[in-house]
Protein backbone atom coordinates (compact mmCIF):
# COMPACT_ATOMS: atom_id res chain seq x y z
CA UNK A 1 0.00 0.00 0.00
CA UNK A 2 1.38 3.35 -0.98
CA UNK A 3 2.17 5.76 1.81
CA UNK A 4 2.84 9.25 0.53
CA UNK A 5 3.04 12.32 2.75
CA UNK A 6 3.04 15.80 1.27
CA UNK A 7 3.15 18.87 3.48
CA UNK A 8 4.41 22.41 4.09
CA UNK A 9 3.65 23.97 0.75
CA UNK A 10 4.44 21.32 -1.85
CA UNK A 11 4.30 22.62 -5.40
CA UNK A 12 3.56 20.12 -8.15
CA UNK A 13 2.82 21.40 -11.62
CA UNK A 14 4.11 22.29 -15.05
CA UNK A 15 5.07 25.91 -14.32
CA UNK A 16 8.62 25.50 -13.05
CA UNK A 17 11.31 28.01 -13.85
CA UNK A 18 15.08 27.45 -13.80
CA UNK A 19 16.74 28.41 -10.52
CA UNK A 20 20.29 28.78 -9.27
CA UNK A 21 22.01 26.61 -6.70
CA UNK A 22 20.96 27.52 -3.17
CA UNK A 23 17.92 29.49 -4.33
CA UNK A 24 14.53 27.84 -4.30
CA UNK A 25 11.56 29.56 -5.99
CA UNK A 26 9.58 31.57 -3.44
CA UNK A 27 6.48 29.57 -4.28
CA UNK A 28 8.18 26.37 -3.13
CA UNK A 29 8.15 25.97 0.64
CA UNK A 30 8.52 22.66 2.40
CA UNK A 31 8.99 19.05 1.47
CA UNK A 32 7.84 16.03 -0.49
CA UNK A 33 8.11 12.69 1.30
CA UNK A 34 7.16 9.31 -0.12
CA UNK A 35 7.41 5.92 1.57
CA UNK A 36 6.73 2.99 -0.71
CA UNK A 37 4.59 2.83 -3.81
CA UNK A 38 4.70 4.86 -7.02
CA UNK A 39 4.03 8.58 -7.43
CA UNK A 40 3.47 10.00 -10.91
CA UNK A 41 3.50 13.72 -11.75
CA UNK A 42 4.66 15.81 -14.70
CA UNK A 43 7.03 18.10 -12.78
CA UNK A 44 7.85 18.59 -9.13
CA UNK A 45 9.60 21.29 -7.11
CA UNK A 46 10.23 21.17 -3.37
CA UNK A 47 12.73 22.43 -0.83
CA UNK A 48 13.37 18.89 0.46
CA UNK A 49 12.74 15.64 -1.40
CA UNK A 50 12.83 12.33 0.51
CA UNK A 51 12.08 8.91 -0.96
CA UNK A 52 12.21 5.63 0.95
CA UNK A 53 11.53 2.51 -1.10
CA UNK A 54 9.47 4.73 -3.39
CA UNK A 55 9.38 5.29 -7.13
CA UNK A 56 8.82 8.74 -8.61
CA UNK A 57 7.76 8.90 -12.26
CA UNK A 58 8.42 12.50 -13.30
CA UNK A 59 10.08 14.39 -16.14
CA UNK A 60 11.76 17.03 -13.94
CA UNK A 61 12.47 17.35 -10.21
CA UNK A 62 13.94 20.44 -8.51
CA UNK A 63 14.92 20.30 -4.84
CA UNK A 64 17.41 22.03 -2.57
CA UNK A 65 18.19 18.72 -0.87
CA UNK A 66 17.43 15.17 -1.97
CA UNK A 67 17.61 12.09 0.25
CA UNK A 68 17.02 8.64 -1.25
CA UNK A 69 17.00 5.31 0.57
CA UNK A 70 16.02 1.71 -0.04
CA UNK A 71 14.93 0.72 -3.55
CA UNK A 72 13.96 4.23 -4.64
CA UNK A 73 13.99 5.65 -8.16
CA UNK A 74 13.42 8.88 -10.08
CA UNK A 75 12.80 8.34 -13.78
CA UNK A 76 13.43 11.88 -15.06
CA UNK A 77 15.95 14.68 -14.53
CA UNK A 78 16.96 15.58 -10.98
CA UNK A 79 18.25 19.12 -10.33
CA UNK A 80 19.42 19.32 -6.74
CA UNK A 81 22.49 20.91 -5.11
CA UNK A 82 22.82 18.10 -2.56
CA UNK A 83 21.97 14.47 -3.36
CA UNK A 84 22.41 11.65 -0.85
CA UNK A 85 21.62 7.99 -1.57
CA UNK A 86 21.80 5.16 0.95
CA UNK A 87 20.89 1.49 0.53
CA UNK A 88 21.32 -1.75 2.41
CA UNK A 89 23.81 -3.67 0.30
CA UNK A 90 23.06 -7.02 1.93
CA UNK A 91 22.50 -9.55 -0.84
CA UNK A 92 22.27 -6.67 -3.34
CA UNK A 93 18.52 -6.35 -2.93
CA UNK A 94 18.35 -2.54 -2.78
CA UNK A 95 19.41 0.02 -5.38
CA UNK A 96 18.70 3.70 -5.87
CA UNK A 97 18.06 4.51 -9.53
CA UNK A 98 18.09 7.98 -11.11
CA UNK A 99 17.57 9.26 -14.65
CA UNK A 100 19.81 12.30 -15.24
CA UNK A 101 21.45 14.26 -12.42
CA UNK A 102 22.72 17.82 -12.00
CA UNK A 103 24.06 18.59 -8.53
CA UNK A 104 26.77 20.26 -6.51
CA UNK A 105 27.39 17.23 -4.28
CA UNK A 106 26.53 13.57 -4.89
CA UNK A 107 27.02 11.18 -1.97
CA UNK A 108 26.24 7.47 -2.13
CA UNK A 109 26.54 4.64 0.36
CA UNK A 110 25.37 1.32 -1.07
CA UNK A 111 24.23 0.92 -4.66
CA UNK A 112 23.46 3.86 -6.98
CA UNK A 113 22.65 3.64 -10.68
CA UNK A 114 22.38 6.77 -12.83
CA UNK A 115 20.83 5.73 -16.12
CA UNK A 116 21.99 8.80 -18.09
CA UNK A 117 24.54 11.59 -17.51
CA UNK A 118 25.57 13.16 -14.21
CA UNK A 119 26.98 16.67 -13.89
CA UNK A 120 28.27 17.42 -10.39
CA UNK A 121 29.96 20.77 -9.86
CA UNK A 122 31.63 19.80 -6.59
CA UNK A 123 32.42 16.25 -5.50
CA UNK A 124 31.13 12.73 -5.97
CA UNK A 125 31.75 10.32 -3.10
CA UNK A 126 30.57 6.72 -3.32
CA UNK A 127 31.10 3.67 -1.18
CA UNK A 128 29.71 0.42 -2.55
CA UNK A 129 28.56 0.51 -6.19
CA UNK A 130 28.29 3.54 -8.46
CA UNK A 131 27.20 2.87 -12.05
CA UNK A 132 26.39 5.35 -14.80
CA UNK A 133 24.83 4.58 -18.14
CA UNK A 134 26.13 7.90 -19.46
CA UNK A 135 28.94 10.39 -18.79
CA UNK A 136 30.15 11.89 -15.51
CA UNK A 137 31.48 15.43 -15.19
CA UNK A 138 32.69 16.55 -11.77
CA UNK A 139 35.49 18.30 -9.95
CA UNK A 140 36.39 15.43 -7.63
CA UNK A 141 35.49 11.74 -7.83
CA UNK A 142 36.11 9.35 -4.93
CA UNK A 143 34.91 5.74 -5.11
CA UNK A 144 35.47 2.80 -2.79
CA UNK A 145 34.06 -0.32 -4.41
CA UNK A 146 32.68 -0.85 -7.92
CA UNK A 147 32.57 1.94 -10.51
CA UNK A 148 31.24 1.89 -14.06
CA UNK A 149 30.72 4.81 -16.45
CA UNK A 150 31.06 5.89 -20.04
CA UNK A 151 33.22 9.04 -20.18
CA UNK A 152 34.59 10.69 -17.03
CA UNK A 153 35.83 14.28 -16.89
CA UNK A 154 37.22 15.52 -13.58
CA UNK A 155 40.05 17.38 -11.88
CA UNK A 156 40.74 14.52 -9.48
CA UNK A 157 39.81 10.82 -9.72
CA UNK A 158 40.48 8.44 -6.81
CA UNK A 159 39.18 4.87 -7.00
CA UNK A 160 39.81 2.07 -4.51
CA UNK A 161 38.68 -1.09 -6.26
CA UNK A 162 36.63 -3.45 -4.12
CA UNK A 163 35.06 -6.49 -5.73
CA UNK A 164 34.02 -7.12 -9.31
CA UNK A 165 34.95 -5.56 -12.65
CA UNK A 166 34.93 -1.77 -12.82
CA UNK A 167 35.11 0.00 -16.18
CA UNK A 168 35.14 3.31 -18.05
CA UNK A 169 35.33 4.13 -21.74
CA UNK A 170 37.51 7.17 -21.07
CA UNK A 171 38.88 9.15 -18.13
CA UNK A 172 40.33 12.64 -18.47
CA UNK A 173 41.62 14.38 -15.35
CA UNK A 174 44.51 16.26 -13.80
CA UNK A 175 45.16 13.48 -11.28
CA UNK A 176 44.10 9.83 -11.45
CA UNK A 177 44.68 7.20 -8.78
CA UNK A 178 43.33 3.64 -9.04
CA UNK A 179 44.30 1.10 -6.37
CA UNK A 180 43.17 -2.36 -5.29
CA UNK A 181 41.69 -3.04 -1.87
CA UNK A 182 43.65 -6.04 -0.63
CA UNK A 183 42.48 -6.05 2.95
CA UNK A 184 42.04 -9.43 4.64
CA UNK A 185 38.28 -8.99 4.99
CA UNK A 186 37.98 -8.17 1.29
CA UNK A 187 39.89 -11.31 0.32
CA UNK A 188 37.66 -13.46 2.48
CA UNK A 189 34.49 -12.00 1.00
CA UNK A 190 35.42 -12.00 -2.69
CA UNK A 191 38.48 -14.18 -3.15
CA UNK A 192 40.50 -11.26 -4.49
CA UNK A 193 40.61 -7.57 -5.22
CA UNK A 194 38.64 -5.98 -8.04
CA UNK A 195 40.03 -4.84 -11.38
CA UNK A 196 39.22 -2.05 -13.83
CA UNK A 197 39.13 -1.78 -17.62
CA UNK A 198 39.68 1.60 -19.30
CA UNK A 199 39.80 2.23 -23.03
CA UNK A 200 41.45 5.67 -22.83
CA UNK A 201 43.12 7.30 -19.82
CA UNK A 202 44.70 10.77 -19.92
CA UNK A 203 45.98 12.77 -16.93
CA UNK A 204 48.89 14.94 -15.80
CA UNK A 205 49.55 12.55 -12.91
CA UNK A 206 48.67 8.83 -13.08
CA UNK A 207 49.03 6.12 -10.45
CA UNK A 208 47.22 2.85 -11.19
CA UNK A 209 47.08 -0.79 -10.14
CA UNK A 210 44.87 -3.65 -11.23
CA UNK A 211 43.97 -1.93 -14.52
CA UNK A 212 43.67 -2.98 -18.14
CA UNK A 213 44.14 0.09 -20.33
CA UNK A 214 44.21 0.33 -24.11
CA UNK A 215 45.68 3.84 -24.32
CA UNK A 216 47.32 5.70 -21.44
CA UNK A 217 48.71 9.20 -21.88
CA UNK A 218 50.17 11.06 -18.92
CA UNK A 219 52.85 13.29 -17.49
CA UNK A 220 54.22 11.47 -14.45
CA UNK A 221 53.05 7.84 -14.58
CA UNK A 222 53.30 5.11 -11.94
CA UNK A 223 52.12 1.70 -13.09
CA UNK A 224 51.66 -0.60 -10.10
CA UNK A 225 51.09 -4.34 -10.04
CA UNK A 226 48.49 -6.31 -11.99
CA UNK A 227 48.26 -3.89 -14.94
CA UNK A 228 48.04 -4.66 -18.64
CA UNK A 229 48.54 -1.64 -20.92
CA UNK A 230 48.58 -1.70 -24.70
CA UNK A 231 50.07 1.76 -25.37
CA UNK A 232 51.60 4.10 -22.80
CA UNK A 233 52.83 7.61 -23.60
CA UNK A 234 54.45 9.73 -20.90
CA UNK A 235 56.10 13.15 -20.82
CA UNK A 236 57.50 13.20 -17.27
CA UNK A 237 58.62 10.38 -14.99
CA UNK A 238 57.74 6.71 -15.52
CA UNK A 239 57.72 3.85 -13.02
CA UNK A 240 56.73 0.28 -13.97
CA UNK A 241 56.01 -2.63 -11.63
CA UNK A 242 57.64 -5.92 -12.61
CA UNK A 243 54.28 -7.71 -12.33
CA UNK A 244 52.66 -5.48 -14.97
CA UNK A 245 52.84 -5.55 -18.75
CA UNK A 246 53.16 -2.59 -21.12
CA UNK A 247 53.32 -3.54 -24.79
CA UNK A 248 54.19 -0.19 -26.36
CA UNK A 249 55.92 2.74 -24.64
CA UNK A 250 56.21 6.19 -26.20
CA UNK A 251 58.75 8.43 -24.47
CA UNK A 252 57.48 11.97 -24.83
CA UNK A 253 60.36 13.48 -22.89
CA UNK A 254 62.51 13.52 -26.02
CA UNK A 255 61.74 16.40 -28.33
CA UNK A 256 63.26 17.02 -31.73
- Would you say residue 224 lies in a domain? yes
Identify the bridge partners of residue 153 per DSSP, sorted by sequence position: 137, 172
- Would you say residue 12 lies in a domain? no
**pLDDT tens per residue, range 161-203:** 998 999 999 999 999 999 999 874 555 555 578 999 999 999 9
Alpha-carbon distance of 41 to 14, in angstroms, equals 9
Alpha-carbon distance of 173 to 153, in angstroms, equals 6
Q: Do the Cβ atoms of 111 and 86 come closer than 8 Å?
A: no
The CA-atom distances, in angstroms, between 154 and each of 91, 119, 237 are 32, 10, 22
Alpha-carbon distance of 32 to 57, in angstroms, equals 14
Alpha-carbon distance of 86 to 249, in angstroms, equals 43
Q: Do the Cβ atoms of 203 and 187 come closer than 8 Å?
A: no
- Number of folded domains that form the chain: 1
Question: Strand 228-234 relative to strand 245-251: parallel, antiparallel, unpaired?
Answer: parallel
> Hey, what's the torsion of the CAs at 154, 159, 164, 168, to 10 degrees?
20
Closest by CA to 20, choosing from 83, 84, 64, is 64
Question: Strand 245-251 relative to strand 82-86: parallel, antiparallel, unpaired?
Answer: unpaired
Helices (runs of H) and strands (runs of E) counted in the chain = 1, 19
- Sign of the four-CA dihedral 96, 180, 223, 225: negative
- Would you say residue 100 lies in a domain? no
**pLDDT tens per residue, range 29-82:** 378 888 888 888 888 888 899 999 999 998 999 999 999 999 999 999 999 999
Domain hosting 164: range is 157-256
- Would you say residue 179 lies in a domain? yes
% of residues, the chain, pLDDT over 70: 82
**pLDDT tens per residue, range 4-17:** 443 333 433 333 33
Whether residue 225 is predicted with pLDDT greater than 90 in this model: the reply is yes
pLDDT of residue 13: 34
- Would you say residue 63 lies in a domain? no
Compute the C-alpha angle 190/196/200, nearest 5°: 175
- Would you say residue 90 lies in a domain? no
The CA-atom distances, in angstroms, between 95 and each of 73, 113, 131, 250 are 8, 7, 11, 43
3-state secondary structure of 136: strand
- Would you say residue 145 lies in a domain? no
Amino acid sequence: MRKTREYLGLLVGPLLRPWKWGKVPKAVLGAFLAEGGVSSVSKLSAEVLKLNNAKLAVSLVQASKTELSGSSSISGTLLSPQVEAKTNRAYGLEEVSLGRVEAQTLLSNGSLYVLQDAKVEGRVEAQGELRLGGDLTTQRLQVKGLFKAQNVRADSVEILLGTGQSSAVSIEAKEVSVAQDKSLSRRWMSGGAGTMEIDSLAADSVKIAGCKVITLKGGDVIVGENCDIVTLEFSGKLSLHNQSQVRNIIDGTFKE
